[in-house]
Amino acid sequence: MKRIVILAPNYPPESGAAALRIGAIATGLQKAGWHVRVVTAMPHHPMGVIPPSFDAPKRYVRTEEGVEVVRLRPWIVPKEGLAKRLVSEAWFTVRTLRAVRTFEPDVVLASSPYMFLGPWGHMISRSVGASFVWDVRDLTWLYPRSAGKRTWGVDRVLAAWMRATAAHADGLMTATDGLMTYFEKRPALTLVAPNGVSRDRREALEHLAPPRFDPPVVLYAGLLGFNHGIDTLVEVARRLPHVTFRIAGDGPERGMVERAVREDDLSNVELLGHRTGRDLLNAYEDASVLISVVRASPVNRWTQPSKLWEYMASGRPVVHAGEGEVPDLLGGTDTVTLAPAGDVTAIIEGVEGILSHPDVALERAARARAYVRMHRDRHAIVDGIVTFLDTAANRKRPHG
């Protein structure tokens, strides 16, 4: 029986893209006959609160759906404090050592968004004689400069370190083609494994009632972060006072949205807070249009927002404002309404076009749903990852 340790800060019952991705990989490996240990944090994202049923002083081990899960107590810091967040990530990273050394894995798989997990996973995999695979979803070391913060050259040092880690890995897995091309020197074993939608979730989305367009409701569901361009969404809402905008999510930009709603009296903006499961499905069902916004940035050209695939599976018309991979991928499919990143006027025209011609919008939504069924089936994606990791397991290194 092959043995794998997965190092990842997020894991179900958290419902973000990182948690869902790792949860699907872990259960897929377990069903394929692997002995799987996941080393993760106690659930706390994005609200910053550990549920009582998962709370413990330091760490604990449970078997969850056949997977052995080691949960470490996180140091929860303010979302806005970059320095503290980096220390918190590093603290989690070094504490994973014990769970790896006592398991004797064939493969160590480290997954972002915590960037230090990559180099750390590489180092400890060599110490236990395991193959090392890095799963990269985000280039987080580039975000501070992208956000206009001074880095004093630290970003260049981190970039060189991360590229070296990728070059010396036994396998490299990324969520998009752009992320793969960022790493100019790569191992021979690589895989682009995009995010997707599980069949159970897709079935639930396909059972939603058809959308209503009167009164018009636009929904954003996801993380409220700097790279998500939430300020653009607020400006769109300001210019469309006759449309209700609902925001389901939490994150560092929530305070900015709350101030704008309060100070500008944006009575058409409703903050729903973080929604999961049936509550999120209800929010989808009440929406006329689903919207995805991404800030214009060289880094964001390589991203594909995971929320987009769930949006498209819901049968609702979708507006996406961004640049790079998504318009390149979907531009010729006539499935979603595309607008340039940050272009408020184009986004407004997209929303109004959907509301003015709902029949045409619903035809596009049907094509979008079929696209997800064909190209973003999470089970098929995980099957490819299992095969990829099977190959990686055969590249074990000697201890040293």
The reported pTM is 0.92
Mean residue pLDDT of the chain comes to 93
The string of pLDDT tens digits covering residues 367-387 is 999 999 999 999 999 999 999
Domain boundaries, the chain: 3-196+377-393, 199-375
22, 111 contact by CB (below 8 A): yes
Tell me whether strands 131-136 and 190-192 are parallel, antiparallel or unpaired.
Answer: unpaired
pLDDT at position 85 is 85
Question: Is 3.30.1490.20 the CATH classification of the domain at 3-196+377-393?
Answer: no
CATH code, residues 199-375? 3.40.50.2000
Packing angle of the helix pair 230-239, 254-263 (nearest 10 deg): 20
pLDDT at position 144 is 79
Q: What is the DSSP letter of 292?
A: E
The string of pLDDT tens digits covering residues 16-73 is 889 999 999 999 999 999 999 999 999 998 888 999 999 999 999 999 999 999 999 9
Q: If DSSP codes are grouped into helix, strand and coil, which group holds residue 218?
A: strand
The string of pLDDT tens digits covering residues 181-193 is 999 999 999 999 9
